[in-house]
Amino acid sequence: MALETVSTNTAFGGTQGVYRHKSKETRTDMTFAVYLPPQAGNGHKLPVLWYLSGLTCTHANVMEKGEYRRACAEHGIIFVAPDTSPRGEGVADDEAYDMGQGAGFYLDATEEPWAEHFRMESYIMKELPGIIEENFTADMTRQSITGHSMGGHGALTLALKNPGTFRSVSAFAPIASPLSCQWGQKALGGYLGGDQSSWRRHDTVALIEDGAHMREILVDQGDADGFLKDQLKPDLLKVACEKADISLNFRLQPGYDHSYYFISTFMAEHIDWHANKLGI
């Protein structure tokens, strides 16, 4: 598959790149970022850490603000940051920020007008991994995943639904139960229709209640996050993990909000944690 290089920059001895391709899943051009650490030049395949971004974001938000490159260079980890939705002329959208372009919720839509292009689950799990493996020095037997907010929801649900794909999963301020918050109810209803039983496979808490399992999960959450009470629902995640005997390392960080000031502060700790799980 043809891959267009949008830009490359040297950083911490490695290469930060931005790339574009025509997606078969979304039927649009898709742009993503990849950081190749300096170890990529020695011919050895390296493990991959996926980062899924939150509402309104593109690949650029974490690339410019996430402060992940030093830690990835130290450990020899490839960092992949996809976009959050299909975009472009003819792609359905919504006036609000929590639906449509920039708000794909990492699922495959079944309802019109979203079904034609909004196939982010298949894009992340089926199409993009093949592109990463084909074009970069990636060891796809060693993958981990993390994400923020809507992307934390995506990281947790995709890991739970695909046992064995990811060695580890973490999240920053994830939407833990879309079934229980306005963001999730709007998106799941719009993308998947009114049958709420079909929503459960896109809800971390529901997946755990229905038997999906991970050995352990790392979550950081700021206690000054304005979305904490009404949208993120981490208490539901804590209860579900305790009942399912999942080791949840939930760290409530005093004074931190929902922004990249929060994410960048704890990014290196997440990468260190994933590096250990990846056998580095």
Of all helices (H) and strands (E), which one includes residue 7? strand 4-11
32 and 54 Cβ atoms separated by less than 8 Å: no
Among the listed residues 279, 227, 235, the one whose alpha carbon sits nearest the alpha carbon of residue 257: 227
Please tell me what DSSP assigns to residue 258: S
Q: Which of 148, 258, 270, 274 is catalytic?
A: 258
Query: Encoding tokens for residue 28?
Result: 């649009």
Query: Encoding tokens for residue 279?
Result: 């056998």
Residue 69 corresponds to which amino acid?
A: R
Residue 17 main-chain phi, psi, to 5 deg = -120, 155
Biggest CA–CA distance in the chain, Å, is 52
Q: Which of 83, 144, 225, 274 is catalytic?
A: 225
Q: How far apart, in whole angstroms, are the C-alpha atoms of residue 81 and residue 62?
A: 8
Of all helices (H) and strands (E), which one includes residue 97? none
Instruction: Please say if 94 is a catalytic residue.
Output: no
Instruction: Please say if 230 is a catalytic residue.
Output: no
Q: How far apart, in whole angstroms, are the C-alpha atoms of residue 9 and residue 233?
A: 38
147 and 171 Cβ atoms separated by less than 8 Å: yes
87 and 100 Cβ atoms separated by less than 8 Å: no
Q: How far apart, in whole angstroms, are the C-alpha atoms of residue 65 and residue 84?
A: 16
Q: Which of 149, 168, 170, 177 is catalytic?
A: 149
Residue 92 corresponds to which amino acid?
A: A
Residue 200 corresponds to which amino acid?
A: R
Q: How many CB atoms lie within 10 A of CB 195?
A: 9
Instruction: Please say if 149 is a catalytic residue.
Output: yes
The residues that are catalytic are: 149, 225, 258
